[in-house]
Structure 1
Amino acid sequence: MMKYLYTLLVLTCLFLFGCERDDICTAETGTTPRLTIAFYSAENPEQLNPKNVFNCRVQGIGNEQTLPELSGAQSRQVISLPLKTTDTKTQYSIYNNYEQTDAGVVTGNEDIITISYITEQVYVSRACGFKTVFKNINITVNDDGDKWIKIIQSVNDNQILENENATNFNIFH
């Protein structure tokens, strides 16, 4: 009986201490980041006064799924947008004062932004695999004659998106 107990103890130790650091992908390990955009008042852009986008709704163009955190019509000062890793551009429809009537009629001011970039695959670890780093990011807004987005400003020149812990772009409205 003791022989089986020792064998079980040795096997348990080997199992618990046999894992290498690369075998586990923790939540703290950086994966493909989202693009973070903050909204500010266009009245005095030098002062960076945060300004809510009231009833803001964000929807990916060519993507019928909405992100749960961006699907409702809520006031927002910051949004984080995932970018396509298999393409060099991603488009989003961003509504200001979004409303949908019972009949399904959508009102509000819609601006469509196009985010263009270059992708690079970076090895993270054996357990986590690769993550995508986005370089040379540029955002433009389609001019439909009724833009609520006035200025789009990169926080850094030659914007590189490696993590989502900092704001990457400022939008003034």
Structure 2
Amino acid sequence: MKYLKILVIPLLFIVILMISCERDDICPDSTPTTPRLIISAYNESSPDNTKFIDNLLIFGVGNENSLSVTVEDIDINYDGTGNILDIYLPLKTDDDTTQYILHKDYLYDDNDTPDDTSDDIETSNADTITINYSREQVYVSRACGYKTIFNDVTFTIETDDDNWIKSRISVNNNQPVEDETETHYNIFH
């Protein structure tokens, strides 16, 4: 009986310890995390029809690296030839403003001298967009942590002599960006 007590107490302790432990959580890819702003492109003269954006190159203001089809931070819905219909832009989670420069009809010519950048030519029509919002941290799970929801999103286009983005419209009022299942803004060009 004495040996039974000696065995029961440690076994009971081990069982309680095992029940209280949880398996290591891994955040599944299917779990929604911080969403990106989705912008769809439409024809200015025929607003019900989508319109491709040719040769688009995107730079985040304050970021020297461009966002392109090959960068994981941005997804672009395009027809396989570089014609773009939808843009998924990440928003800053540590600031209430994000700016991008969208270069339409971007062309780069190194004049057949790849080692000499002094004669390189870059052409495009660049428009700067500013996205303002308020941030809300939402707990997802222990494995996934927190995600940021963007509320009261506004989208402005800086005016210049040759804007290719003619106008924009919010898909719904008091625009929140909570998920990536539908477009948040439409641009007309």
The TM-score, its normalising length taken from structure 2, stands at: 0.76
2:95 is matched with 87
> What are structure 1's unaligned runs of at least 5 residues?
1-13
The amino acid across from 1:19 in the alignment is R
The amino acid across from 1:109 in the alignment is N
Task: Name the CA distance, whole Å, in 2 between partners of 1:18 and 1:62.
Answer: 42
1:41 is matched with 43
Q: Is the 8 A contact 2:58 2:68 kept in 1?
A: no
Q: Is the 8 A contact 1:59 1:70 kept in 2?
A: no
The amino acid across from 1:84 in the alignment is K
Q: Is the 8 A contact 1:57 1:74 kept in 2?
A: no
Instruction: Kindly state the Cα deviation for residue 106 of structure 1 after the two structures are TM-superposed.
Output: 1.4
Instruction: Kindly state the Cα deviation for residue 37 of structure 1 after the two structures are TM-superposed.
Output: 0.4
Task: Name the CA distance, whole Å, in 1 between partners of 2:186 and 2:65.
Answer: 25
Q: Is the radius of gyration larger for structure 1 or structure 2?
A: 2
2:4 is matched with none
1:51 is matched with 51
Aligned residues: 155
Of all paired residues, the percent bearing the same amino acid is: 46
SS at match of 1:135: strand
Residues 72-113 of structure 1 show CA distances to partners (whole Å, capped at 9, x for unaligned) of: x93201110000000011000101111111133211110000
> What are structure 2's unaligned runs of at least 5 residues?
1-17, 72-80, 111-118
Asked if residue 120 in structure 1 is aligned to residue 168 in structure 2, the reply is no
2:77 is matched with none
What are the residue-to-residue correspondences of 1:103-142 with 2, within 5 Å?
A: 103-142=119-158
SS at match of 2:69: helix
Asked if residue 66 in structure 1 is aligned to residue 66 in structure 2, the reply is yes
Residues 70/37 of structure 1: CA separation in 2 closer, same or farther (3 Å cut): farther
Residues 116/78 of structure 1: CA separation in 2 closer, same or farther (3 Å cut): same
Task: Name the CA distance, whole Å, in 1 between partners of 2:30 and 2:66.
Answer: 25
Task: Name the CA distance, whole Å, in 1 between partners of 2:99 and 2:70.
Answer: 15
Instruction: Kindly state the Cα deviation for residue 66 of structure 1 after the two structures are TM-superposed.
Output: 2.9
The amino acid across from 2:185 in the alignment is F
- The counterpart of 1:143, out of the listed 159, 180, 188, is 159
